C-alpha cells in the first residue's frame, strides 16, 4: 500500500480503538507508520482524513450487512422469519463493529461544531437510505424514488435505534422478534385507525411472537 492507503487504514484502526473525538493526528501517523506531514499532503487535515475513514469503514460494514441479509433470505421463505433473521443478524454486526458504531454516534454529536463533518454525513445519508431500502427489499439495484426513500428512512431509524440501544445496554437491546412484535402492534394500531373498524392486522387476529 502507498502512504494514502496506509493513512486510511491507520485512521480506521484509530476510529475503532480510540473513537472519533479522541483520535489525534499523531495517533493516525503512529498507527499507519506514515509521517504527520503526509496527512496534510494527502487529505488536507486530520479531520478530513477521519471523515473519509468513517465513511469508508461504514461502507465496509455495509458489505457485511449485505451478507447477513442474503443469508437470512436463503434461510426461510416466510417474510416474518426473514425479517427476524435479518434484524438478529444486524444486531450481531453491531456487536462485531462496536467501535465503528461508537465512533459514528460520537461524530454525530460533533456535527454542530464541525461543518465539514456535517456535510460529509449529509451527503452520505441519502445514498445510505436508498442503499438500505434496496438491500432489505432484495432489489438488484438502488432505486431513487420517493417510495424507496420512505422505506430507507424507516430501515435507517430501526438500524440506528438498535445500535444506540446496544451501545447503551447490550443486554437490553432489541432483537428481530422485538422489532416484529412492535411492527405488528404499532402498524396494526395506526393502519386500523386509518382504514376503519373493519381492518384486521396481524396483531388483531393472532398472538405475536415472544419478545
Per-residue pLDDT of the chain (211 residues; tens, 9 = 90+): 799 999 999 999 999 999 998 999 999 999 999 999 999 999 999 999 999 999 999 999 999 999 999 988 888 889 999 999 999 999 999 999 999 999 999 988 888 777 777 887 888 888 889 999 999 888 888 999 999 999 999 999 999 999 999 999 999 999 999 999 999 999 888 887 655 544 444 444 444 444 3
Quote the distance between the C-alpha of residue 197 and its chain's center. 37
Same domain, 210 and 124: no
Same domain, 99 and 203: no
Same domain, 146 and 201: no
Residue 200 grid coordinates:
384486521
Report the pLDDT value the prediction gives residue 191, as an integer from 0 to 100: 80
Domain that holds residue 142: 46-169
C-alpha 130/C-alpha 147 separation (Å) is 10
Question: Is residue 90 classed exposed, middle or buried when 0-12, 13-18 and 19+ CB atoms within 10 A define those classes?
Answer: buried
Residue 19 lies inside a defined structural domain of this protein: no
| pTM (two decimals) | 0.82
- Which residue, among 155, 156, 127, has the nearest Cα to 141 in the 3D structure? 127
Instruction: Read off the pLDDT of residues 126-176 as tens digits, 9 standing for 90 and up.
Output: 888 999 999 988 888 899 999 999 999 999 999 999 999 999 999 999 999
- Percent of the chain at pLDDT exceeding 90: 65
C-alpha 198/C-alpha 143 separation (Å) is 34
C-alpha 157/C-alpha 13 separation (Å) is 27
Amino acid at each position: 500500500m502507498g502512504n494514502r492507503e496506509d493513512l486510511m487504514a491507520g485512521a480506521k484502526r484509530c476510529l475503532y480503538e480510540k473513537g472519533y473525538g479522541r483520535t489525534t493526528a499523531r495517533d493516525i501517523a503512529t498507527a499507519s507508520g506514515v509521517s504527520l506531514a503526509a496527512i496534510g499532503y494527502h487529505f488536507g487535515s486530520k479531520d478530513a482524513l477521519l471523515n473519509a475513514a468513517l465513511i469508508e469503514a461504514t461502507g465496509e460494514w455495509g458489505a457485511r450487512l449485505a451478507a447477513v441479509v442474503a443469508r437470512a433470505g436463503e434461510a426461510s421463505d416466510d417474510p416474518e422469519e426473514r425479517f427476524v433473521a435479518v434484524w438478529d443478524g444486524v444486531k450481531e454486526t453491531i456487536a462485531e463493529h462496536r467501535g465503528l458504531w461508537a465512533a459514528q454516534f460520537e461524530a454525530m454529536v460533533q456535527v454542530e461544531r464541525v461543518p465539514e463533518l456535517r456535510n460529509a454525513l449529509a451527503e452520505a445519508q441519502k445514498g445510505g437510505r436508498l442503499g438500505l431500502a434496496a438491500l432489505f427489499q432484495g432489489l438488484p439495484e438502488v432505486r431513487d424514488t420517493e417510495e424507496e426513500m420512505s422505506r430507507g428512512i424507516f430501515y435507517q431509524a430501526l438500524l440506528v435505534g438498535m445500535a444506540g440501544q446496544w451501545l447503551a445496554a447490550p443486554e437490553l437491546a432489541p432483537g428481530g422478534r422485538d422489532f416484529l412484535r412492535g411492527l405488528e402492534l404499532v402498524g396494526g394500531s395506526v393502519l386500523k385507525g386509518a382504514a376503519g373498524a373493519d381492518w384486521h392486522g396481524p396483531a388483531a387476529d393472532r398472538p405475536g411472537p415472544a419478545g
